[in-house]
Structure formats: C-alpha cells, structure tokens
Amino acid sequence: MKFDLDTAWKDTMGLLSRNFGLLAVLAGVFFFLPYAGFMIAVPEMGAMQSAQAGGDFEVVMAAVTELYLEYWWVFLLLALIQGVGLLGMLALVRRRANPTVGEALATGARSVPSYIAAQLLQTALIVIVATLLLTVGALTGLSALAVLGGIIAFVITCYIVTKLSLAAPVIAIEGQLNPVKALQRSWSLTRGNSMRLFLFYLLLTVAFIVVSAVVSLVLGLVFALAGEQGALLGEAIVSGLLNAVMFVLMVCVMAAVHTQFSRLATAPQPDAED
C-alpha cells in the first residue's frame, strides 16, 4: 500500500480543526512569545535577515556565525523550549491515553533530550555524507564534478531528512526515548513511500513559503507606517506569528503522516525499494 497525500492532508486539517484552541494557546506560549521576544531582544537578527535579503552568501554566513557565537545559549534555550512545545503538542493530539495538557507537556519535557539527540545524529549523518561528496568533487579539480557532487549531496540530504522526519512523533506518540531506535523506526515506517512523502512535504513547504512571503510583505508595510521602531516591533511580531503557525501545521502534519504510516505498517504490502 502507498502513502496517500490526499488522506494525509484531510487528516492534518481534521487534527487542526479538532485541537485548534489548545494548539493555538500552546503555540503562543512555546513558539510565538519566545521567538518574538528573541527578535526584539537581539537586534542582530534584523541585520542577519537584511544580509539574507541581499543574497550575498559570504555576508550571510558571517552574520549567522557571529550571531550563533554570541548568542549560542539563547539558541539552545529556544531549542529546548520549542522542543518541549513540539513534543507536547504531538502527544496531546495523538496519544491514545488522551492526556491532559499538563501530562502532554510533561511528556514533552521528558522526551526533549531524546529529540535533541536524534536531531544531532541526523545532522551529523547529513554533514558526513555531504562533506564526503563535496570533498571528492573538489579533489578532482573539475568544476563539473564539484557541481555534480553538490547536487548529489543536496538530493541525499533531502532523502535523509524525509526518511527521518517521523522521529519526533515516534518519540512523542509511541514513547520511544532511544534516539537511535526512533530514527530507525522512522526509516522503517517510510520504506517504499519516500518519494510520495517528499512530494507531500515539498508541496506544503512551497505553499507555506508563498503565503508567508505575502503576509510578511503586507503586514511589514502596515507596521512600517509607524516608523522605524514600529517596523522593528512589527517584524518581531510577524516573525513570531509565522513561527507559531509553522509549528502548529508541522505538528498536525507529522501526527497525520505518522498515523497513516503506522496503519500501513500493520497492513500486508509487497516489498518495495525506495
């Protein structure tokens, strides 16, 4: 049996509609307020975004490096807060025991070390594979092979991210706290459906980017009318709002996809290569 994009989208919207009130409150606490507060407290974020808009890769990398070196502890704290929120929301919408909000957040707090460890392992795998491919291409001295190595590295990165994308729901919903086993479970669940799942993620990502760009442009112009300080405050509010919306959708998408793949895993199906 194959992963069905239409069913995944309908299940996502169903989860969102049934849990919208609670998800909105939790998203405000764990995603909107921390991110908006960070944007307001760290003016360098604005400089980094301006560098990104300029399109100069070296300038962007310099700004990102400087920002992370100076505020690494803030990024770590933000990752912990958002990790607890993400895992808690996943447990809330899909745990079979129907936990209370407090129980779901407690699950998120217990699970966040496993989630972060899984993310670090995934990042390490991507870095190792990409570095090997890029290094081989560079050592040949041929620009065409270097470019080809970069393309292959990008494709493999997308593949790995897709295959391991269900680690968070495996941890939060199934209660698997071993990060290696969570990654293995995600890899196993998506077997035979990697391309379909990647297409689903790609369509959602493109749609979100387009809508986010329009919303940012419109609200940015509105806040710009209030002057420089109003524009900075507006940028923080809009960024925090989009961050919260993104995570709410991410939770519902991951929960819906995990549910469908869990059903597929228990159904008889022929062997498939992905």
Tens of pLDDT, residues 203-218: 999 999 999 999 988 8
Give the CA dihedral 104, 108, 110, 112, nearest 10 degrees.
170
| Angle between helix 72-94 and helix 228-266 axes, rounded to 10 deg | 50
Query: Please, which residues have CB within 8 angstroms of residue 94's CB and are 6 or more apart in sequence?
Result: 15, 169, 172, 173, 255, 258, 259
pLDDT band of 150, cuts 50, 70, 90: confident
Which of the given ranges, 42-46, 63-67, 144-148, 205-209, has the highest pLDDT on average? 205-209
Mean pLDDT within 245-264: 94
Each residue's pLDDT tens digit, 63-89: 677 777 878 888 889 999 999 999 999
Q: With contact defined as beta carbons under 8 Å apart, do 64 and 48 qualify?
A: yes
- The rounded percent of the chain whose pLDDT value lies above 90 is 55
Question: Residue 273's pLDDT is what?
Answer: 46
For the record, the structure tokens of 120 come out as: 């670090």
CB 25 within 8 A of CB 247: no
Whole-number pLDDT of residue 11:
94
Highest mean pLDDT among 53-57, 104-108, 269-273: 104-108
Report the Cα–Cα distance between both ends of the chain, in Å, rounded. Answer: 13
How crowded is residue 238: how many other Cβ atoms within 10 Å of its Cβ? 21
Cβ atoms of 104 and 95 within 8 Å: the answer is yes
pTM listed for this prediction: 0.86
Residue whose token pair is 């360098």: 44
How many other β-carbons are positioned within 10 Å of the β-carbon of residue 226? 12
Q: Say yes or no to pLDDT of 167 above 90.
A: yes
Q: Is the pLDDT of residue 48 over 50?
A: yes
pLDDT range class, residue 43, cuts 50, 70, 90: low
Looking at residue 267, what DSSP letter applies?
A: S
Distance CA 134, CA 64 (A): 22
Structure token pair of residue 178: 């071993």
Which segment, 82-96, 143-157, 181-195, is predicted with the most confidence on average? 181-195
Alpha-carbon gap, residue 199 to 167, rounded angstroms: 19
- pLDDT of amino acid 224: 80
| pLDDT of 233 strictly over 90 | no
Average pLDDT, the chain: 87
247 pLDDT higher than 90: yes
Is the distance from CB of 39 to CB of 241 less than 8 angstroms?
Answer: no
Q: Which of 20-34, 70-84, 189-203 has the lowest average pLDDT?
A: 70-84
